[in-house]
Chains A and B, each alone.
Chain A
Amino acid sequence: MSNLSEDIKELVIFRLESLHSNKKISIGSHGEFSKEELIEHVRKGDDIGKKIADIEMEFLRALKEGIVS
């Protein structure tokens, strides 16, 4: 994925806000992340932030295409 636009960052961060604070995400070889850490990576637009945005956008596309309802 190319550089994250500010619109995409805003959307992804908004959706990450729903993650419970008592949960963490293991993202393969990248490591384990809390909600706050994920949001920070998205803000920076680094590789982990791009990965999170990629996952989010893929899920939203699936919702839009009706693959998941």
Chain B
Amino acid sequence: MTELLITRPEHDDTTHYLSNWSKEIIDIAENKNIKVFDINREKAIKKNVELRLNKMSCDLTFFNGHGDFNVIGGHNNEPLIIGGENEGLLKSKIVYAISCKSAKELGPKSVKAGAISYTGFDDDFIFVYEPEKISRPLNDNTAKLFLEPSQLFMKSLIKGNSVREGVDKTKKLLADNFLKALNDNDRDSAKYLWWDLKHFVSHGDVDAKLQ
């Protein structure tokens, strides 16, 4: 049975938005008979993630949270995966990390340590949102311009597409939303969509797909 590990800390506005927008991925995966291990809120700490990655044959790992060039963060930014320390836990896995900058250094290190692929952002992932929608983040149409594309990569993989196809679809939607923002004279969203588009990258076997 295919397995998906997902981390969803929720300790600030950014992680609250990422967590809520990624809930749909859990539903889609379960409908495809994928076993989902959802490590949410204060459970998203290193000990739990290491335990689960050591136990499972997990094919797909999806990290939401803050990060840095060499780190994926969890609850209260506790480091979950650290390059040079435990990236070997990602061996034989397709990895997607909405964890800023981590695709720059941790991505290549993870692939070197045996990860099938590592997709994410090689600089900060930036999005615009409307604070008045904080209690209903899925109704935030400004954030949607950014977060819908960021979730599309996972949807594409779950549907059986390759990493490369997922990356292409994600970049296309980011580009479409960029043009939409420009046409709507929303230059603030446009410049950050342009930034995200330029920094969305993938390392490793981009022809890989879920078995």
Q: Are A and B part of the same complex?
A: yes
Residues of A within 8 A of B (CB): 15, 18-20, 22-32, 51, 55-56, 58-59, 62, 68
CB proximity to A under 8 Å, residues B149-207 = 178, 182, 187-188, 190-192, 194-195, 198
Question: For residue B132, which residues in chain A have a CB less than 8 angstroms away from its CB?
Answer: 22
- Pull 13 A–B residue pairs with CB atoms less than 8 Å apart, ordered by A: A18-B187, A18-B188, A20-B188, A22-B131, A23-B129, A23-B130, A23-B142, A24-B13, A26-B129, A29-B73, A29-B124, A59-B194, A68-B178
CB-based contact A29/B66 at 8 Å:
yes
- Total of A-B residue pairs, C-beta within 8 Å: 74
B116-138 vs A, Cβ < 8 Å mask (1 yes, 0 no): 00000101111111111000000
**A29 and B101 contact, Cβ closer than 8 Å, known pairs A23-B129, A55-B126:** yes
Closest to B178 in A: A68
B68 CB–A CB distance under 8 Å: yes
Chain A's interface: helix, strand, loop or mixed, by majority? mixed
CB-based contact B128/A31 at 8 Å:
no
Q: How large is the interface on B (under 10, 10 to 19, 20 to 34, 35 or more residues)?
A: 20 to 34
A19 to B182, CA, bound (A): 14
Q: Which 9 A-B pairs have the closest CB atoms?
A: A28-B100, A28-B124, A59-B191, A29-B66, A26-B14, A32-B13, A19-B188, A26-B127, A55-B195
CB-based contact B128/A28 at 8 Å:
no
A31 to B121, CA, bound (A): 16
Q: B77, B124, B131: which contacts A27 (Cβ < 8 A)?
A: B124
CB-based contact A62/B194 at 8 Å:
yes
Closest to A29 in B: B66
Question: For residue B129, which residues in chain A have a CB less than 8 angstroms away from its CB?
Answer: 23-24, 26
